[in-house]
Structure 1
Amino acid sequence: MTVPAPDPQAVREASLEELERLRLPLPPSQFPLVWESGDEIELRPTGEIEARIAVLHVILARCFGMPPQAAMSWLLGSHLVDLVTPPEWQFLMGGRGDHRSFVLHHDALFSLAWVLGLTKQLDPTLPVDERLVERLPQISVGETFDQWRGRILAAPQHPADAAALLDLHYCLDWAYLELEKAGRALPGLVDANAIGQRRWALEWAVVLRGPYHDEPPGWEEVDLST
C-alpha cells in the first residue's frame, strides 16, 4: 500500500519532542529531513520482510552454536538461500566475519518484528522484548518458514507510522552517538549500536518514493552514514 508521506516538518517536530523528553541532545538545525513534502511511502512486501526476519533469525542461531549444516538445511527447506547476502553466507557457512556485528542484528530483527506487528512497541529505552522469541520460527522443533508465516499472521504497521518511527530513529542515532562521544549516560538500557541496528531495519523496510529517492537498497546497501 503506497500512501502520501506525512508532513516531514510535523514528524520531525514530534521526533525532537521525544528527544527532549528523553533529555537527549538535539541535532543541528540543518539536520536533513528523511523525506520531502509530496513524497510517497510504502512498506516492503510482507513476505520480503518475513524472509529477512527468518534469515536474521538463522544467523543469530548460528551465532549461538547452530551447526552450519543445520542452518543450510533449514534455509534450503524454506527456499530462502537466495535471500542470504554474501557476508551472511560467509558467516553462516564458514564462520567468517565479525561475530559481534551479527549478534547485534538482534535489534534489527526486533525492529522488523515491530514493522510486522509481532511486537507492540519499539521503545528506545528498552531492550528487545524477551517474549519475541516465541513469535519467531521455531527451528529447533522443525517449524518451516511457511508454517511460521501461517502461525504469526503478520499485521503490518501503517506506512506513515513506520515512517515516523524511522524519522525518530534517524534523530536518535545522531543523539546516541553524541552521548557516547561525550561520555554521558544513556537514558535507558539501549546503546548506540542497538539504535543503529533498529534504524538500519527501518531504513530498509520503509520505502520512500519521490524525485530525490533512489530505488530501495539491498540489505547490505542501507546507508547509515548520515
Structure 2
Amino acid sequence: MTVPAPDPRPVRLASIEEVRRLGLPVPPPQFPLVWEPGDEVGLRSTGEIEARTAVLQVVLARCFGMAPEDAMSWLLGSRLVELVTPPEWQYVMGGHGDHRSFVLHYDAVFALTWLLGLTKHLDPLTPPDERLMDALPDLSTGETFTAWRSRTLAAPRDAVEAAVLLDLYYCLDWAYLEAERTGVPLPGEIDANAIGQRRWALEWAVVFHGPYHDPPPGWEEVDLST
C-alpha cells in the first residue's frame, strides 16, 4: 500500500539540522532530494523484507564459520535460494568475494529489523545492541524461516516514518564520508561504513512512486553513489 509522501523540503531541512547538531559537515545546497512533492511512498512487502533479512543472516553466518552445506540446506528448506544475489551466492557457496564487505551487512540487517518493527531504534550514534541476534533466525538451532516469522510477528514501520529516516541517512551518508575525508571527528560509535549499510537497506525497502522514479531496484542494484 502506498500513501502520499510528505513534502520533502521540510523533511530535508530537519535532516540538515540534525546533521548540523551532530557536528558533521552539511551537504551542499544542491544536494538532491530523495523524492519530489506529490510522490507516493510505501514499503516492500513484509515477506520481501523478511526474506532479505534471512538471506543476509545466512551470509553473516558464513562470515563467522557456518559450513556452506549447512547454509545451502537452510536456504533450500526455506525456499530462499532464488533470492540470493550472485555475489552472495559466490560467497555462501565458495567463500569468494570481499569477506569484510559481507561482515558489514550486519548494519543493513539492523536497518531491516527496524523496518520490520523487531528492533526499537536506528540511532545513527550507536551500533546494534546485543538483542539484535535474538530478532534474527536462530540458525544454530535450525530454526526454520517459517518458525522465525511466526516467532517474531513483524509489525512493519509506517512508510512515511521510514521515508523520513531514509532522508536523514541519505544526508548522513554524505556527511560521514566527508567527515572521514577531512578528519572531522565522528559523533558516535559507528563509522561511514555502518551508515552506508543502513542507508542501503532503507533505499532498498522504501519504495517511491512518481514521474522521476524507476521501478524498485534489486538489492545489488541500489545506487549509493550520490
Q: Secondary structure at the match of 1:11?
A: helix
Alpha-carbon distance in structure 1 between the residues aligned to 2:67 and 2:155? 32
Aligned-pair CA distance for 1:21: 1.5
Partner Cα distance (1:38, 1:129) in 2: 37
1:14 lines up with 2:17 in the alignment: no
Match of 2:37 in 1: 37
Displacement of 1:139 in angstroms is 1.1
Give, in angstroms, the shift of residue 101 of structure 1.
Answer: 0.3
Q: Which residue of 1 aligns with 2:220?
A: 220
- Asked if residue 28 in structure 1 is aligned to residue 45 in structure 2, the reply is no
Give matches, 1:73-88, under 5 Å: 73-88=73-88
3-state SS of paired residue (2:23): coil
Deviation of residue 183 (structure 1)? 1.5
The percentage of aligned residue pairs carrying the same residue is 73
* Aligned: 1:202 with 2:202: yes
Gaps of 5+ in 1: none
TM-score, structure 1 normalization: 0.99
1:69 aligns with 2:69: yes
Amino acid paired to 2:173: D
Instruction: State how far apart, in whole Å, the 1-side matches of 2:80 and 2:127 are.
Output: 28
Q: What RMSD over aligned residues (CA atoms) do the two structures have, in Å?
A: 0.6
Residue 119 of structure 1: SS of its match in structure 2?
A: coil
Which digits, 9 at most, give the CA deviation of each residue in 1:128-156, with x for residues without a partner? 12111011101111110000000000000
Residues 1:109 and 2:112 aligned together: no
Equivalence for 2:174:
174
Q: Quote the Cα distance in structure 2 between the aligned partners of 1:36 and 1:75.
A: 39
Distance 1:21 1:123 in 2: 14
Quote the Cα distance in structure 1 between the aligned partners of 2:205 and 2:85: 16
Q: Retained in 1: the 8 A contact 2:24–2:184?
A: no
1:175-210 CA distances to partner (integer Å, 9 max, x unpaired)? 000000012210000100000000000000000100
Output the CA distance in 2 between the equivalents of 1:61 and 1:141: 13
TM-score (norm 2): 0.99
Segments of structure 2 that go 5 or more residues without pairing to the other structure are none
Count residues in correspondence.
226
Q: In 2, distance between residues paired with 1:48 and 1:75?
A: 15
> How do 1:178-189 and structure 2 match up within 5 A?
178-189=178-189
The residue type paired with residue 223 of structure 1 is D
Deviations 1:115-172 (A, max 9, x none): 0111110011100121110111011111100000000000000000000000000000
